[in-house]
Amino acid sequence: MKILIPDTIALQVSADAEVVVYDIRSEIPVEHRDAQMLVVWHNSASWLQDAAGYLTDLRLVQALASGADVVLNAGFSDEVRICSGRSLHDGPVAEHALALILSAVRRLDRLRDAQLEHRWDEDFNDVQSARDSQRDYTLADARVTIWGFGSIAATLAPLLTALGADVRGIARSAGTRSGYPVHADADAADVLADTDVLVSILPATEATTDLFDSAIFSALTPGAVFVNVGRGATVDERALIDALESGRLRAAAIDVTTSEPLPASDPLWDAPNLILTPHVAGNRPIGAGALIDANAARLAAGDPLVNQVHP
């Protein structure tokens, strides 16, 4: 088997295969178009569309990103299996999500702005210790709902529990996962009404497009916090800005936007009480070489693949 490995990441691959490193900015040389496995990392959508046309022997595309939507939309033939890099990002994404959740709840953005003004923010001490607002500034006893309860959520949830939060999930089907109660999408309204902090780890699909709209933000407890480490396309960004401007949301922290990179003129940049990071939660896969090895071996043996998302 021949595996094409992108030049955008340092990988330790020990699969029993011919490994060819390729430049993601150029076409695959003709002599390597017989590869059966293609690993992609930071490849452009147009590169993938081209490759889908000329890599005719391909059996598996292994994405290293947490979501494989760009690959899924590239036009690969239906027989080509597609695997995501989901499990490589559980730890890193959970870590960045926790950093964003804590920053939004503890309002480190507000304190950073005060620092830039050389201003010791005494008012912060008042509101964080006032009887009526104290609980807004801590995860202790906060009701946190994670929408999209997969492996990242399973890593994140215990961290939130350790900080004193009451954690539950929403997913396509109800049940108990990793010890946490997970409610079905259909019951979301009831859960949201009891939610102080809503964390999305949803992928971009037809069903999730603009899911987080004014109806969802209005369903949360007044003054709730919204955090998105999933995909930007799941958010109606005008509704998010409105909810922040009206105070319906007390604060939000997002790592993803509908347009990336976000244009300098976009109104999101200046939305009040919003923390915006440039899609950095998941850009650091851990264990990619081992995943490639495992899926190469499974493909050769006809075993089920890890993180398969298509067909």
Question: In the complex, which residues of this chain contact its own copies (CB under 8 A)?
Answer: 9-10, 91-92, 95-96, 98-100, 102-103, 106, 108-109, 111-116, 118-122, 124-125, 128-129, 131, 134, 137-140, 158-159, 162-164, 260-262, 264-266, 269-270, 275-280, 283-284, 286
Residues 6+ away with beta carbon under 8 Å from 265 = none
Q: Are 183 and 170 in contact (CB under 8 A)?
A: yes
Q: Which is nearer to its own copies, 134 or 173 (CB)?
A: 134
**Catalytic one of 168, 231, 237, 250:** 231
Q: Which is nearer to its own copies, 141 or 303 (CB)?
A: 141
End-to-end Cα separation, the chain, in angstroms: 21
Q: Which is nearer to its own copies, 175 or 267 (CB)?
A: 267
Residues 6+ away with beta carbon under 8 Å from 79 = 59, 311
Q: Which is nearer to its own copies, 27 or 113 (CB)?
A: 113
To the query of whether residue 32 is one of the catalytic residues in this protein, the response is no
**Residue 237 φ then ψ, to 5°:** -70, -30
CA dist 238 and 268 (Å) reads 8
To the query of whether residue 79 is one of the catalytic residues in this protein, the response is no
**Catalytic one of 59, 106, 143, 279:** 279
Q: Phi/psi zone of residue 107: left (φ > 0), alpha (ψ -120 to 50 degrees), beta?
A: left
To the query of whether residue 183 is one of the catalytic residues in this protein, the response is no
**Residue 155 φ then ψ, to 5°:** -85, -40
Q: Are 66 and 152 in contact (CB under 8 A)?
A: yes
* Shortest CB 100 distance to its own copies, Å: 8
Strand partners, 81: 60
* Shortest CB 66 distance to its own copies, Å: 13
Q: Which is nearer to its own copies, 14 or 173 (CB)?
A: 14
CA dist 1 and 142 (Å) reads 51
**Catalytic one of 18, 27, 245, 260:** 260
CA distances from 291 to 62, 87, 276 (A): 9, 9, 31
Cα radius of gyration rounded to whole Å, the chain: 21
* Shortest CB 117 distance to its own copies, Å: 9
* Shortest CB 190 distance to its own copies, Å: 28
* Shortest CB 105 distance to its own copies, Å: 8
Q: Are 4 and 20 in contact (CB under 8 A)?
A: yes
* Shortest CB 239 distance to its own copies, Å: 20
- Strands (E) across the chain are located at 2-6, 18-22, 37-40, 60-63, 81-83, 143-147, 166-171, 175-177, 180-184, 197-200, 224-228, 249-254, 274-276, 308-310
Q: Which is nearer to its own copies, 60 or 253 (CB)?
A: 253
Catalytic residues: 231, 260, 279
